[in-house]
A = this chain, B = another copy of it.
Amino acid sequence: MKLTLASLITLLIACYPVKINNQNDNAKTPVAIVIHGGAGTILKANMTPEKEEQYRASLKQALQKGYAVLEKGGTSVEAVLAAITVLEDDPLFNAGKGAVFTYYGEVELDASIMDGSNLQAGAVAGAKTIRNPILAAHAVMTKSPHVMLAGSGAEEFARLQNLAIVPQSYFIDSARYEQHFRRKKAREATPSKHGTVGAVALDRFGNIAAGTSTGGMMDKRWGRIGDSPVIGAGTWAQNKTCGISSTGWGEYFIRLGVAHDISAMMEYGGLSLQEAADSVIMKKLTRLGGTGGVIGLDQQSNITMTFNTAGMYRGYVREGEESRVFLFGRDEEE
């Protein structure tokens, strides 16, 4: 047989694997959303069936709200806002209502959002009176020339944008309050880090958006800012690579630029989303001594939920599939 160029090309096409990973090659990209509610020592042994059910129900509700936006042809940015506000309003999570207390007994909230279609981004840090910090981050992105606003200035801006302003008492969840004073008494060394929330969505237009919201590290002091409002660390979105939202020990996520690093490994190193997330979370972060995880998705609706902790509150819906939520490590979830 004479090997012509045409036959060689045919041969190459025939040999190419039909289905790689969970990549979807349909012309019409299925919309998708993935969320997290924090990573940490989340073990079945430490949780009642009732508590477990509450977490699963809350994650499902956030997924439904976000997915409903996408299904109706809404944007990924709108879907991220819809999902995160559900989690911010739920005292189960360390974001918005139910946020942890600082060293001073206050609540200081951080949030950020990024639009992967144009690399626009917005963030607020150290906000004490904004009911839904993710909406303030969105207002910074769309209604200001800035990306990051902090402290009372961020609150002033949110007021000017007619966002809901609440007293500190709004955020206080009695369980967190009790935890705060128990901890004060016990002088525990390592702050608990569960409950940051985040969402990444892919809409009908093929645009990816990502957002993150948190009350930060328990007992934080000196105006500490973690990775959640830091674009490139806690949040990143770029259509041609992926959207990422991080949760965990924020200092390590900043030092590795986790969210942008995953994107860069895909863009410059040719890795898949899952390979890049594994490399950054399971190798780099773990080697450095950091703990936590990320959620992410790419333009082909591939999804990652990768963490080096015992568990991570998480879930996703992809068009044409049932929504799925998980709390624990793979071996504890069947």
Chain A positions within 8 Å of B, measured between CB atoms, are: 119-121, 125-126, 144-154, 156-157, 220-226, 230-233, 236, 250-251, 254-257, 260-261, 264-265, 267-269, 288
A188–B267 CA distance with the chains assembled, in angstroms:
39
B146→A222 contact, CB < 8 A:
yes
A157–B232 CA distance with the chains assembled, in angstroms:
26
A154–B220 CA distance with the chains assembled, in angstroms:
12
Q: Which of B150, B264, B288 is A150 in contact with, Cβ under 8 Å?
A: B150
Task: Say what secondary structure dominates the interface of chain A.
Answer: mixed
With both chains docked as a complex, state the minimum distance between the C-beta of A299 and any C-beta of chain B, in angstroms: 19
A288–B293 CA distance with the chains assembled, in angstroms:
30
A260→B264 contact, CB < 8 A:
yes
A153→B222 contact, CB < 8 A:
yes
Q: Which of B150, B156, B254, B257 is A125 in contact with, Cβ under 8 Å?
A: B150
Residue contacts A-B, CB under 8 angstroms, 28 given = A119-B256, A119-B288, A120-B255, A121-B254, A121-B255, A125-B125, A125-B225, A145-B251, A146-B220, A146-B251, A147-B250, A147-B255, A148-B224, A148-B230, A149-B223, A149-B224, A150-B151, A151-B151, A153-B221, A154-B222, A157-B222, A231-B233, A232-B232, A232-B254, A236-B257, A260-B261, A264-B264, A265-B268
A225→B119 contact, CB < 8 A:
no
A180–B267 CA distance with the chains assembled, in angstroms:
43
